[in-house]
Amino acid sequence: MNIIVGFILVMILVFGGFLLSGGEMGPILHALPFEGMMIGGASLGAFVAANSFGDVIGTFKGLIKCLKGPKWKQQDYIDLLNLMYTLTKMYQKDGVLALDEHIENPKESAIFSQFPKLQNDHFALDLVTDSFRMLALQFDDPFQTEDVINKKIKKHHHEALVAPHGLQTVADGLPAIGIVAAVLGVIKTMGSIDKPPTVLGEMIGGALVGTFLGVFLAYCFVAPLSSRLSAIEEQDGAFYNVIRDIFIAILQNHSPTICVEIGRGNIPSVLQPSFYEMEEARQDMAEA
């Protein structure tokens, strides 16, 4: 929602200021369809040429994510802590074999089924199950395990940032593409040098719309989208770091409560539930 409000403010204040200063929208509106087609077409074509089909689709999905905001909310973190508490308690009480049916078939697990959003996130589910699977295979050195999990998270995070990086590349190129459109407008104007000054003025103004549009789109629209999407991916990535921190605490033989508290401490502040909220959520889960 914030990004829509921001874009509305940009449009109102930029063009409102232009009109209040005595500017006329006529020349801009006349040139806008043609300049927009050249600049937009060149940007889109270059973007498609520079990226795989999957990355292109991922970027368009990222634009939707910019409107929807981060995936993980405070309740999702509470659910994650409750899930990890349940699994940790079962592991420490009954051993890793007690988790086998849940780890090997998480889609059918009675424990995972209590948290459908987590259950439907492929990477979160794999990170939890693979970590306990390593434990079952006696890969239980905290430092080596942390390194393995970090590499998985780093790879996932790198792939998640492909879309914002692609958008930023488009933003970086848009001013130059706008100049290309402006040069074409100047070429067109020079071919009509025998026209009256009024006509030439309109043609030069139309050419300058290309420069304006390239810079305007780059710094007022595409770059903010890239920045917003990058921030969303960074915030969502913190979710997986919590899984890592809890699992490392398990390997260090902390109690389930301490393991979850370590994970809770690394949740982003704006989403972090309090200690007492977690206690209440844990009691509610036990009573359910």
Full DSSP string of 27-87: HHHHHHHHHHHHHHHHHHHHHHHHS-HHHHHHHHHHHHHHHH--S--HHHHHHHHHHHHHH
Whether 79 shows a pLDDT value over 80: the answer reads yes
Measured CA to CA in angstroms, residue 110 lies from 85, 237, 250 at distances of 15, 26, 22
Amino acid at the residue 133? R
The pLDDT score that the predictor gives to residue 205 is 80
Token readout for 240 is 């997986």
Closest CA to 78 of 236, 233, 239: 239
First to last CA, the chain: 35
pLDDT band at 208 (very low <50, low <70, confident <90, very high): confident
Which percentage of the chain shows pLDDT scores above 90? 67
pLDDT digits (tens, 9 = 90+) for 151-174: 999 999 999 999 999 999 999 999
Q: Is the pLDDT of residue 101 over 80?
A: yes
Per-residue pLDDT tens for 230-267?
999 999 999 999 999 999 999 999 999 999 999 999 99
The owner of tokens 């420490």 is 92
Displacement of CA 29 from its chain's centroid (Å): 34
The model's pLDDT over 3-30, given as tens digits with 9 standing for 90+, comes to: 899 999 999 999 999 999 988 888 888 8
Q: Which long-range contacts link 275-281 to residues 24+ away (Cβ below 8 Å)?
A: 277/78, 278/78, 278/81, 281/78, 281/81, 281/82
DSSP 222: I
pLDDT band at 287 (very low <50, low <70, confident <90, very high): low
Q: What is the pTM of this model?
A: 0.87
Q: In the prediction, which pLDDT does 99 show?
A: 87
SS3 of 110-161: the string is CCHHHCHHHHCCHHHHHHHHHHHHHHHCCCCCHHHHHHHHHHHHHHHHHHHC
Both tokens of residue 153?
Answer: 């998270």
- Within 13 A of 227's CA, how many CA atoms are on the CB side? 11
C-alpha 88, offset from chain centre:
30
Cβ proximity of 163 and 55 under 8 Å: yes
